[in-house]
Amino acid sequence: MYRVAARAALAASRRSAPRALARRTLATEAQPLEWTKEQQKEFIREHGVPAFVEAVMDSRVAQTEAEAEAVEHRTPVEILVETYEHTLGLLASGAFPETSVYRQSVEAITRRKLDAVRKAGSDPASVEDALRSIGEIGLGGLTANEGIEGAIDTATDELRTAENMAQWKAFEPLEEAPPPRQWEYFK
């Protein structure tokens, strides 16, 4: 049914400009987002199938645009800084002892990245350059194509890993002592 209505709308729009102008006027009027069967029949009876199809499509587009405007827009730099700060907050929250090697190393790396991002400012290109200069992007880190999006993904993964390490309590002593020489490497 939709294909037939869409074809009819296309054919009608090709037939006459005055009718297309009338449809445009109808479509810009406030139309209900959900149509009852009675509303559909009445609208089609008054204006025709092409106008109904266009009005429904326009109301759906308007609804989608309104939903998109309601979403908070943050810059990639804000997201990256926030993720680094969450990671540092988790590490300092007491979930890890200060003597934990994991905490010390992740804290040092995250602080270094956060300082580089803050010094670079809010421009994503300058942040990418700053991360590239400390080896986060390129040179064994992220590839140059990933840029700031890849840095956000990596920061999110680091945060999740820190959450898991805190949950697993990986810093506690083993329940069973390892056999002697287990952790010695070949000489």
| Position 159 pLDDT exceeds 90 | yes
Please state which of the ranges 8-17, 124-133, 177-186 shows the lowest mean pLDDT.
8-17
Give the mean pLDDT of 37-64.
Answer: 65
User: Quick one: pLDDT at residue 74?
Assistant: 74
3-state secondary structure the chain: CHHHHHHHHHHHHHHCHHHHHHHHHHHHCCCCCCCCHHHHHHHHHHHCHHHHHHHHHHHHHHHHHHHHHHCCCCCHHHHHHHHHHHHHHHHHHHHCCCCCHHHHHHHHHHHHHHHHHHHHCCCHHHHHHHHHHCCCECCCCECCCCHHHHHHHHHHHHHHHHHHHHHHCCCCCCCCCCCCCCCCCCC
Q: Domain limits of the chain? A: 2-66, 76-168
pLDDT digits (tens, 9 = 90+) for 117-143: 999 999 988 998 898 888 876 545 555
Give the mean pLDDT of 146-155.
Answer: 86
